[in-house]
Structure 1
């Protein structure tokens, strides 16, 4: 793994073949190519005695690592936290407001479906 993002997810990885060829890939491309649930993984080369060599990818998580964790939000709700507590926990600095209190100029150029 060459680079990880702030959340620990793989951003860039390098593979070196036995013949010396090198390939570098973005973490998301590896996720899709290997059908991994997330880019939050570790990779370890396996070389068992008398067995076939390979790779072991060990993953954690299901998502993009940005925003609200559904499992964490659910856990907060089970502990009695309301939507306001949950949203401000995951989106610090955000202000909750009703649509009626948001100034109309914030919606210029926004259209709605019929």
Structure 2
């Protein structure tokens, strides 16, 4: 019935739930901060129990206090789970409105756990 599909949809919309983990982010654009401070975006195509991620059409955003944000195309990319600090879903419509060349900022520092 309809209530089951609504419950399933609700679980998918809250990807931090134990039952879904990263499943709710598959085939969505994700933003990843790595332990060494890199910012990588891409379409999440898959993951495993070690949180190794497969990204399609990925790119790295490189931040500088003097120049705008530079994007470096990475394409199909595999990220090791032990290198990942944070994963979040990207709103593609909002992200496309950001004027990256006008943004300036310091690169992120290494993440310390």
Bin for the TM-score computed over the shorter chain: under 0.3
TM-score normalized by structure 2? 0.25
TM-score normalized by structure 1? 0.24
In terms of Rg, which structure is larger?
1
Q: Which has the higher contact order (CA 8 A, sep 6+)?
A: 2
